[in-house]
Amino acid sequence: MTSVSSMEFWWFLNLRATLIALLLILFFHLSKKFYSKFLPYSSTRRLPSSSSSSSPLDSQSRIPEIISDSDLKFLIDNLDEKLNEDEKWENVIDKKTNFLSYNAKCCRTKDKPLKYLSTTVFESCSPVLLRDFYMDNDYRKQWDKTVIDHLQLQVNRTNGIEIGRTVKKFPLLTPREYVLAWRLWEGKDRTFYCFTKECEHPSAPRHKKYVRVGYFRSGWQIRKGKEASEIRMFHQEDAGLNVEMEKLAFSKGIWSYVCKMDNALRKYSAINRPLTTPSVSSVTLIQKVPPELEMISGSTLPAVSASMPTLEPVNGEPREKKLSRIPSKRTVAKSLLVAGGVLCLSRGHVGLGAKVAMAFILTKLRKHCDSSSQSRRTQGT
């Protein structure tokens, strides 16, 4: 009897110890999942700010020369519209007001996203003011409502390369995350260049809640004109949209964005605010354009009125290439997805984006009805 009781006692102790061990393992597993789900984002948010005064600005060995003078030459060549034999520019939009002119065209590439080349002329604006306005990311968060966050991650004091992280929120789409490096150059007669490309940085790990933009090439040249400043911009980004949809969304949404930018620029000039970017940035560390590149780049705007050509139809076709008239379930599904893309490229202008998306869907349906009725009439005859 005694031996049986003692066996039951030890069996009970072993059972209780096993249950406690299982509970501890379960608790450890749940706490690990909770930690990985909720804490990494806050820790990465603290990382740049906690070390911004020392590590990002003072450690030079961690930033390679991501952007070099060869990138500046690449930018100048694209601004001069140098293309491959199988590439050609297509006019997209040409708009102007009394104080603003905007012209844009695009080019299809074989294995990369669309190239865009735009020219914007701001009357009564100096090149330095326009440069500071474009580089003021804190002020951009005030007027560009798609920008919900921007952080300076690192600056190289030697070559002036700056790395930053920007998050943009678009209606109906997952927020886009940009981790970019950029560099500025100054040429003769107050001519400025900036080139930007995508990169990776240890202080900006990837998150499931954002879509990281994987291909980004963009740059601009600012030069002076007669009582005006001109900015010519080259842009190439993988937006994840169909080529024709992207062109349509761009042509319908970009003008309202440029007008909004012009209003923000006038306010920026009126309040005469200092540059609100950090004390050490690519602007304060601006580089000189190499002499060999200075010779091939134009620096003075000949005439504001002559710099903005008027768009004409090409071969009797309208400026926007007609979309395919073959309807299908896949086409309708793409049309619905385009609604989000249009809202994305309309730069947060929800009303405009909704109108463009609905206009596109209705146009597709109308073409389908016209094509169906025409085919029925043909069969009837």
CA distances from 286 to 52, 102, 111 (A): 20, 27, 33
| SS3 at position 118 | strand
d(CA 197, CA 193): 14
CA angle (136 as vertex; 353, 51 as ends), nearest 5: 115
Residue pair 300/223 in contact by the 8 Å Cβ criterion: yes
Sort strands 176-186 and 211-212 into parallel, antiparallel or unpaired: parallel
Which residues are bridge partners to 195 per DSSP? 183, 219
pLDDT tens series, the chain, 381 aa:
444 455 555 455 555 656 665 666 566 555 544 444 444 433 333 334 333 334 455 444 456 689 999 999 999 999 998 877 778 889 999 999 999 999 999 998 888 899 999 999 999 999 999 999 999 999 999 999 889 999 999 999 999 999 999 999 877 778 899 999 999 999 988 899 999 999 999 999 998 999 999 999 999 999 998 889 999 999 999 866 677 877 887 888 899 999 999 999 999 988 756 555 567 899 999 999 999 998 776 554 544 443 443 333 334 443 333 333 344 444 444 444 444 444 344 333 444 444 444 444 444 544 554 555 555 555 555
Q: Which candidate, 233, 255, 232, places its Cα nearest to that of 301?
A: 232
The structure tokens listed for 303 are: 């005439």
Residue pair 114/270 in contact by the 8 Å Cβ criterion: no
What region, left, alpha or beta, does residue 272 occupy, with left being phi > 0 and alpha being psi -120 to 50 degrees? left
Residue at 217: amino acid letter: R
Return all residues near 354 (Cβ < 8 A) that are at least 6 apart. 339, 343
Instruction: Give the pLDDT of residue 339.
Output: 42
CA distances from 330 to 24, 233, 302, 327 (A): 51, 35, 49, 8
Sign of CA dihedral 201, 204, 209, 212: negative
